[in-house]
Amino acid sequence: MDYELLCTKIIAITRLTGNFIRKEAMAFDANKIEYKGLNDMVSYVDKNAEKQLVRNLSKLLPEAGFITEEETVNTYGKDFTWIIDPLDGTTNFIHGIPTYSVSIALYEGNLPVIGVVYEINRGEMFYTYKGGPAFLNNKEIRVSNNSNLSQSLLATGFPYYQFDKQPQYMQLFTEMMQKCHGLRRIGSAAVDLAYVACGRFDAYFEYNLNSYDVAAGAYLVQQAGGIISNFAGGDEFIETRELLASNGKVTDEILQTIKKYF
């Protein structure tokens, strides 16, 4: 398998879908949104973008399965599986806030081999493939070299459903806010992870995440020299739906704080 060549083809497909989303954003009708659950919105743009991605990615690897957010198709492949979020940051998109992305990961067995995150409005294409480094628009990227948590800029996400862990999360949020240079909540987990990969954020943590939210971005962080774990410090971040991504230099200090509350 030529992962670099395959990644190049995925980038072209991702860009096409990003162009579709950008065009739809200019005339989006918020009255056409649907609710999958409490505060969990979906639009025709999400669904059409997903169908477009599935159709085009299927041509690259007809035997591969799919795990998709909008469940327009969910099939398991013997060797390869696409894990895709056609529009990560739907709430931002619906409200006209210009931070949302397309996220595509390819897994071979249980391991990622390609990750692509396209931040649409800035035209920033983050990507990586097995055997290669991580890139932003053809330029190699690395995680930050900052080892001082007090000088670190962190990202997180707020719970919008399943509020049972909200009290301890708010305690964690309060302590982390006092320990770091600043906390940001952008609204797209894929973008948060891409920003860790390129050194804009020193770390990112969140819970209640799905595989399609983080599969591509987590691989970007790893390929850029960073560390991915769950809140216990283990590798099973998809299974536990908890994720800490960092440059590796502030991991231990952040984990010590997280473990007080989770």
Chain-centre distance of CA 149, in angstroms? 23
Residues 132, 163 within the same domain: no
Q: Is pLDDT of 152 > 70?
A: yes
Long-range pairs for 53-60: beta carbons < 8 A, 24 or more residues apart: 53/13, 53/14, 53/17, 53/84, 53/86, 53/102, 53/104, 54/82, 54/84, 56/13, 56/16, 56/17, 57/10, 57/13, 57/82, 57/84, 57/104, 60/6, 60/9, 60/10, 60/13
Q: What is the pLDDT of residue 160?
A: 67
Residues 133, 164 within the same domain: no
Write out the H or E segment, with its range, that includes residue 141.
strand 139-141
The total number of structural domains in the chain stands at 2
> What is the C-alpha to C-alpha distance for residues 151 and 187, in angstroms, rounded to an integer?
23
The mean pLDDT of 120-144, rounded to a whole number, is 98
What are 16-45's pLDDT values in tens digits? Answer: 999 999 998 888 776 666 655 444 446 788
Residues 123, 36 within the same domain: yes
Residues 136, 163 within the same domain: no
Residues 104, 196 within the same domain: no
Q: Is pLDDT of 71 > 80?
A: no
Residues 156, 122 within the same domain: no
Q: Contact at 8 Å (CB) between 64 and 77? A: yes
The mean pLDDT of 1-8, rounded to a whole number, is 97
> What is the C-alpha to C-alpha distance for residues 210 and 105, in angstroms, rounded to an integer?
13
The better pLDDT of the pair 253, 47 is held by 253
Residue 91, helix vs strand vs coil: helix
Domain that holds residue 180: 149-258
Question: 257 falls in which pLDDT band (50, 70, 90)?
Answer: very high
Q: Is pLDDT of 142 > 90?
A: yes
Q: Three-state secondary structure along 228-240?
A: EECCCCCCCHHHH
Q: Is pLDDT of 248 > 50?
A: yes
Task: Give me the percent of the chain exceeding a pLDDT of 90.
Answer: 81
Residues 159, 120 within the same domain: no
Q: Is pLDDT of 66 > 70?
A: yes
Residues 118, 15 within the same domain: yes
Q: What is the pLDDT of residue 36?
A: 54
> What is the C-alpha to C-alpha distance for residues 153 and 195, in angstroms, rounded to an integer?
11
What are 94-126's pLDDT values in tens digits? Answer: 889 999 999 999 999 999 999 999 999 999 999
Q: What is the pLDDT of residue 39?
A: 41
Q: Find the CATH number of the domain harbouring 190.
A: 3.40.190.80
Q: Which of 123, 141, 159 is the last residue of a domain?
A: 141
The mean of the pLDDT values for the chain is 92
Q: Contact at 8 Å (CB) between 73 and 66? A: yes
Residues 15, 119 within the same domain: yes
Q: Find the CATH number of the domain harbouring 67.
A: 3.30.540.10
Residues 159, 114 within the same domain: no
The length of the chain, given as a count of residues: 262
Q: What is the pLDDT of residue 32?
A: 66
Task: Give me the percent of the chain exceeding a pLDDT of 70.
Answer: 94
Residues 160, 208 within the same domain: yes
Q: Which of 141, 174, 189 is the last residue of a domain?
A: 141
CB neighbour list of residue 260: distance below 8 Å, 6 or more residues apart: 171, 172, 175
Q: Which of 141, 157, 177 is the last residue of a domain?
A: 141
Q: What is the pLDDT of residue 179?
A: 96
Q: Is pLDDT of 70 > 80?
A: no
What are 153-207's pLDDT values in tens digits? Answer: 999 998 766 778 888 999 999 999 999 999 999 999 999 999 999 999 999 999 9
Residues 222, 111 within the same domain: no
Q: Is pLDDT of 69 > 50?
A: yes
